[in-house]
Amino acid sequence: MDAPLLTAIDVGTTKICTLVAEMVSETEFEILGVGLEPARGMRKGVVVNVDEAGAAIRESVAKAERTAGFEIGQALVSLAGSHIASVNSHGVVGISGQRGIEQEDIDRALDAAQAIAIPHNREVLHVIPRGFTVDGQEGVRSPLGMHGFRLEVEAHIVTAATSSVQNLTKCVESAGVQVESYVLNPLASAEVALTDTEREMGCIVCDIGGGTTDLAIYIEGNVWHTMVLSVGGNHLTSDIAHGLRLPADLAEKIKIEYGSARARDIDPSELFSVTPFGEEQPVQVGKVDLAMIIEARVDEIFNLVLQEIKRSGYDGLLPAGIVLTGGTAQLRAIRSVASEVLNLPARVAAPENLRGLVDSLHGPQFSTSVGLLKWAARETLAAARAPLPGRRGNRSKTMDDGITKVSEWFRRLLP
Ligand SMILES: Nc1ncnc2c1ncn2[C@@H]1O[C@H](COP(=O)(O)OP(=O)(O)OP(=O)(O)O)[C@@H](O)[C@H]1O
Ligand SMILES: [Mg+2]
């Protein structure tokens, strides 16, 4: 029997990345198809032009299908934007009899936690258990099989604006692909960026892309807080374009070639030449001047991150610090600025140990894309392990058929 296939579409503000992979073992997959396409019709993580965004997604999917050699029917899709909101909620259910807690009871508790007032124009994206309490005993990681009369769950609930979700769904479906489910950007990035130890100790993952900065706080192994800020690397580019009076594409090139997030590290005698609007000859600009423009905005981004950490109430609970990823994490000295502003340890993370068609996938800008595949792999395994009737989620009949096949494949893997 064929190994299960994983398919993902990362719809970013600057690029669309479609990936197809094959699960080769419980912990490994091999990338078979890559479709990388510059994004169009997107702004700050959301679709602003359905026709253009749809066309870019179609191109990306077609490229991935060509390299993988087959058609993509459905995929996990990343979601971001300022319309995302998150809240922590509590659910309680009674357990009858002496049979021990079953998956069905956990599902009921999560449903109870989800019974919060959600405006009619919003929908629930994720309900993630943060921890359980059984008969007053707190800190239970997995209550399955435990005895008790009262099961409580603390859940992190992520909601999104229905209209934004529908616009993206329309674009993805125009490429002939069904959205299997949406995954919030920072949760996908965290799959790649964070180590188990960091999640346990407490840390924040910060994916700075082109149009958004995606945050997720992990404590005791679970997600405690998520947030999407509408600021990213494109703001740096437009600051440079305005500050040095350059066209946007030239500002982008200069940012990548000469940019740095910390002006005091730059030798004042270092210069580069550009031709601004209104000049006929190139002029010399100090790298330190460029760095000052960049530093102001990077400083602002990390101050927003700091505010968000404080607002969440979890400052002081993040000893493992901040893990930076996303395309803008490649900016020189960004790690030092993050560490200084937040007063936390900082490091930059990118996808590692990939197999297959991976030449173009090593940078931190691919953390969300590869993270989606990891998420899909985890869901596939969880579904294969769960008994068929009690399974949660919005999977279709065809998915369930697929999972039955995966269960068989998975059983063959077991010794
Ligand atoms: N070497 C570099 N130095 C600085 N910035 C860089 C570098 N390489 C890429 N970037 C920036 O990274 C950004 C793109 O990152 P990424 O691909 O993660 O964004 P995205 O996923 O398309 O967007 P988003 O997730 O915000 O919707 C762009 O703003 C680009 O200028
Ligand atoms: Mg991104």
Between the CA of 234 and the centroid of ligand 1 the distance, in Å, is 8
Which whole-number Å values give the CA distances from 335 to 133, 172, 346, 363, in the listed order?
A: 38, 35, 6, 15
pLDDT band, residue 359 (cuts 50/70/90): confident
Which whole-number Å values give the CA distances from 254 to 121, 246, 281, 282, 331, in the listed order?
A: 42, 10, 17, 14, 12
Same domain, 146 and 274: no
Quick one: tokens of 285? 């600009």
Same domain, 222 and 106: no
Between the CA of 207 and the centroid of ligand 1 the distance, in Å, is 10
Q: Which of 113, 143, 160 is the last residue of a domain?
A: 160
Same domain, 296 and 235: yes
Q: Whose CA is nearest to atom 31 of ligand 1?
A: 233
Between the CA of 77 and the centroid of ligand 2 the distance, in Å, is 11
Q: Which of 348, 375, 408 is the last residue of a domain?
A: 348
Residue carrying the six token digits 């008994």 = 387
Between the CA of 12 and the centroid of ligand 2 the distance, in Å, is 5
In the three-class reduction of DSSP (H, G, I as helix; E, B as strand; rest coil), residue 65 is classed as: helix
Q: Which residues line ligand 1 (CB under 6 A)?
A: 12-15, 39, 45, 80, 185, 209-212, 232-234, 237, 252, 255-256, 259, 326-328, 330-331, 365
Q: Whose CA is nearest to atom 9 of ligand 1?
A: 327
Between the CA of 349 and the centroid of ligand 1 the distance, in Å, is 14
Query: For residue 274, is it within any domain?
Result: yes
Task: For the chain, give the mean pLDDT.
Answer: 91
Task: Check if the beta carbon of residue 264 is closer than 8 Å to that of residue 241.
Answer: no
Query: Taking residues 341-361, what's their average pLDDT?
Result: 92
In the three-class reduction of DSSP (H, G, I as helix; E, B as strand; rest coil), residue 62 is classed as: helix
Same domain, 232 and 93: no
Pocket perturbation via mutation, ligand 1, pick of 60, 257, 365 by most ligand atoms within 8 A of CB: 365
Query: For residue 312, is it within any domain?
Result: yes
Instruction: Find the helix or strand (DSSP H, E) in which 7 lies.
Output: strand 5-11
Same domain, 201 and 315: yes
Q: Which of 303, 327, 348 is the last residue of a domain?
A: 348
Query: Taking residues 117-123, what's their average pLDDT?
Result: 90
- Say whether pLDDT at 358 is over 80: no
Same domain, 315 and 224: yes
- Say whether pLDDT at 388 is over 70: no
- Amino acid 251 reads A
Boundaries of domain holding 311? 195-348
Q: What is the pLDDT of residues 134-187, one digit of tens each?
A: 999 998 988 999 999 999 999 999 999 999 999 999 999 999 999 999 999 999
The DSSP letter of residue 330 is G
Same domain, 108 and 206: no
Query: For residue 321, is it within any domain?
Result: yes
- Say whether pLDDT at 414 is over 70: no
- For the chain, how many structural domains are there in total? 2
Q: What is the pLDDT of residues 209-260, one digit of tens each?
A: 999 999 999 999 999 999 999 999 999 999 999 999 999 999 999 999 999 9
Quick one: tokens of 71? 């058609």
Same domain, 96 and 150: yes
Same domain, 230 and 340: yes
Same domain, 331 and 216: yes
Identify which of 347, 364, 5 has the alpha carbon closest to the alpha carbon of residue 192.
Answer: 364
Q: Whose CA is nearest to atom 5 of ligand 1?
A: 328
Identify which of 58, 78, 64 has the alpha carbon closest to the alpha carbon of residue 31.
Answer: 64
What's the pLDDT score for residue 118? 86
Identify which of 234, 229, 228 has the alpha carbon closest to the alpha carbon of residue 187.
Answer: 228
The C-alpha atoms of residue 369 and residue 394 are separated, in whole angstroms, by 22
Identify which of 172, 169, 171 has the alpha carbon closest to the alpha carbon of residue 160.
Answer: 169
Residue carrying the six token digits 């197809």 = 20
Query: Taking residues 270-288, what's their average pLDDT?
Result: 93
Same domain, 281 and 324: yes
Between the CA of 185 and the centroid of ligand 2 the distance, in Å, is 7
Atom of ligand 1 nearest to the CA of 325: 18
Higher per-residue pLDDT: 283 or 406: 283
Q: Tell me, what CATH number does 142's domain have?
A: 3.30.1490.110
- Say whether pLDDT at 102 is over 80: yes
Task: Check if the beta carbon of residue 157 is closer than 8 Å to that of residue 84.
Answer: no
Query: For residue 413, is it within any domain?
Result: no
Between the CA of 90 and the centroid of ligand 2 the distance, in Å, is 31
Which ligand number lies closest to the CA of residue 233? 1
Residue carrying the six token digits 């579409």 = 9
The C-alpha atoms of residue 44 and residue 54 are separated, in whole angstroms, by 16
Q: Checking phi first, is residue 360 left (phi over 0); if not, alpha (psi -120 to 50) or beta?
A: alpha
Instruction: Please state, for a pLDDT cut of 90, what percent of the chain lies above it.
Output: 81
Atom of ligand 1 nearest to the CA of 326: 18
Atom of ligand 1 nearest to the CA of 211: 26
Task: Check if the beta carbon of residue 14 is closer than 8 Å to that of residue 25.
Answer: no
Residue carrying the six token digits 């005698």 = 269
The C-alpha atoms of residue 66 and residue 98 are separated, in whole angstroms, by 55
Between the CA of 209 and the centroid of ligand 2 the distance, in Å, is 5
Pocket perturbation via mutation, ligand 1, pick of 330, 332, 360, 362 by most ligand atoms within 8 A of CB: 330
Query: For residue 42, is it within any domain?
Result: no
The C-alpha atoms of residue 274 and residue 163 are separated, in whole angstroms, by 43
Query: For residue 386, is it within any domain?
Result: no
How many Cα atoms are found within 13 Å in the side-chain-facing hemisphere of 66?
8
CA torsion sign for 28, 369, 123, 127 is positive
Atom of ligand 1 nearest to the CA of 234: 29
Query: For residue 262, is it within any domain?
Result: yes
- Say whether pLDDT at 403 is over 90: no
Q: Tell me, what CATH number does 276's domain have?
A: 3.30.420.40
How far from chain centre, in Å, is Cα 370? Answer: 10
DSSP 224-284: EEEEEES--HHHHHHHHHHHHT--HHHHHHHHHHH-BS-GGGS-TT-EEEE--TT-SS-EE
Q: Whose CA is nearest to atom 12 of ligand 1?
A: 327
CA angle 25, 31, 34 (to 5 degrees): 160
The C-alpha atoms of residue 138 and residue 152 are separated, in whole angstroms, by 9
CA angle 279, 281, 285 (to 5 degrees): 80
The C-alpha atoms of residue 355 and residue 31 are separated, in whole angstroms, by 6
Query: For residue 281, is it within any domain?
Result: yes
Same domain, 147 and 283: no
